[in-house]
Amino acid sequence: MDKREVYLDNSATTKLDEDVLEAMMPYFTEYYGNSLSQYGFSRKCAQAVDDARYSVAKAIDCKPVEVYFTSCGSEANSWAVRGGALSGRKRGSHVILSKIEHPSIMNSGKWLTQNGFDVTYLDVDKYGMVHEDELRKAIREDTVLISIMLANNEIGTIQNIPALAAIAHANGIVFHTDCVQAMGLIDVNVKKLGVDMLTISAHKFYGPKGVGVLYVRSGLIIDRLINGGGQERGMRGGTTNTPLIVGMGVAIEKAVTETDTNAAKITLMRDRMIERIKNEIPDVILNGHPRQRLPSNVNFAFNYIEGESILMRLDLEGIAVSSGSACSSGSLEPSHVLLATGLPVERAHGSIRFSIGKHNTMEDIDYTVDKLKVIIAQLREMSPLYKPQDRVKEV
């Protein structure tokens, strides 16, 4: 078996599409003007930004004036949670998040706590699902904002956002959802989801790094996060980043067109990978939901061993994966998402996320599982926790 380069970390970031890059190119050195300037030289930039805004609006089914370009998903999330809460302060100071949100949301919640807000973190079940009853119970008179993600970045669990958003609205509460992982893999439609705010980030669907979108329903006014001049209708400062915004526009158009084909192809790879790992490697636990799951996500706890060792051994075979959340890699904390699903700490430490992208092939999957089997066996041999008799017991 020849060594391959297998990138299975598409939930961390994806390869920029060549078409997208090509569309961006003229805006670097040729049409480099400030899109807000009044002279003819900038007209092409302004038009390009308008077009991209229109593409995003069409993709998520909203009006172009409801699209705000940001520098990333984290900015959009911080803006939605902090800005949404601050602008609601007159009505109350309680915010509800789930326990499995991305660090940009979790830490915005922490920021709110330090700034006079009260934050409730909703429990999830062992599959990572937020239950409607939990949300209903958490709502208070003074709740001003709820933020629950559509698809989780670590375990891929997909929430029933329409139902959760409806509960929020029945109580007059603004609802935000983080769709950074969902975009391009499942339907992301603000009308169908019924949300007031929504976050996406281009680099998760083969667009450039450094450009995200916050959708804000027209009529809803939130506090600003990045102050500046008149950009983004006065809501987000910074000289308009025309090339990256153009990249977002082309990437989202392509993502929407390709969602069904990509999802179908990726789901096949996911299902084969899950099957093979379950059948061929003993003592593993599939993290996340068996069905309500992103097409791209495979996440397993490999008992008795630790994630970084697995990651590094796979790396030596040319396979790129992530242990816990890629965003917090390098940290020693076990994943807050896995812990929220009730996984014991040592199993959380031994979990690996494989995230499949449109460039992967079935050969990548088979190569990975073949290598993985050997690596897991070797590492278990090295583990003081692994006693073959335990295995026999558990099987």
Partner 1 sequence: MYNQKVIDAFSNPKNVGEIENPDGIGTVGNATCGDIMQITLRIENDIITDAKFKTFGCAAAVATSSTATEMVKGMSIDQALKLTNAKVVEALGELPAQKMHCSVLAEEAIKAAIEDYLSKKNK
DSSP 327-364: GGTT--SPPHHHHHTT--HHHHHTEEEEE--TT--HHH
Binding residue (CB under 8 A) for partner 1 from 163, 220, 374, 382: 382
Residue with smaller CB distance to a second copy, 29 or 389:
29
374 binds, among partner 1, a second copy, ligand PLP, none (CB under 5 to 8 A by kind): none
Residue closer to partner 1 by CB (options 272, 391) is 391
Q: Does 238 bind ligand PLP (CB under 6 A)?
A: yes
72 assigned to active site: no
Q: How far is CA 118 from the centre of its chain?
A: 25
Q: What is the DSSP string of 176-241?
A: EEE-TTTBTTB---HHHHT-SEEEEEGGGTTS-TT-EEEEE-TT-----SS--SSHHHHTS-S---
Choice from 304, 335, 354, 360 touching partner 1 (CB under 8 A): 304
Site for ligand PLP in 117-176 (CB under 6 A): 149, 153
Return the half-sphere exposure (C-beta side, CA atoms, 13 A cut-off) of residue 342. 10
Nearer to partner 1 (CB atom), residue 1 or residue 332: 332
From the CB of residue 75, how many other CB atoms can be counted at a distance below 10 Å? 21
Dist. CA 116–CA 132, nearest whole Å: 27
| One of 98, 143, 242, 299 touching a second copy (CB under 8 A) | 242
Q: Which does 181 bind (CB under 5 to 8 A by kind): partner 1, a second copy, ligand PLP, none?
A: ligand PLP
Q: Mask of contacts with partner 1, 23-62, x by CB under 8 A?
A: ---------------x----x--x----------------
Q: Render 159-193 in DSSP notation, one character per residue.
A: --HHHHHHHHHHTT-EEEEE-TTTBTTB---HHHH
Q: Which residue in this structure is represented by tokens 């816990």?
A: 324
Question: Can residue 316 be called a binding residue for partner 1 (CB under 8 A)?
Answer: yes
Q: What is the largest CA-CA distance in the chain?
A: 77
Query: Per CB under 8 A, does 334 bind partner 1?
Result: yes
Shortest distance in whole angstroms from residue 108 CB to ligand PLP: 11
Q: With binding defined as CB under 6 A, does residue 77 bind ligand PLP?
A: yes
Q: For the chain, how far is it from start to end, CA to CA, in angstroms?
A: 30
Would you give the binding string for a second copy spanning residues 109-148, x where CB under 8 A is met? -xx---x---------------------------------
Half-sphere exposure of 22 (CA within 13 A, CB side): 3
**Shortest Å, Cβ 210 to partner 1:** 23
Residues forming a β-bridge with 151: 158
Rounded CA gap, 300 and 291, in Å? 15
Three-state DSSP at 132 gives: helix
Closer by beta carbon to partner 1, 49 or else 76: 49
Which residues within the stretch 304-343 sit at the binding site for ligand PLP (CB under 6 A)?
Answer: 327
How large is the angle between the packed helices 43-60 and 242-280, nearest 10 degrees?
30
Q: Does residue 388 touch partner 1 according to CB under 8 A? A: no
The residues binding partner 1 (CB under 8 A) are: 38, 43, 46, 304-306, 308-309, 312-313, 316, 330-332, 334, 345-346, 349, 381-385
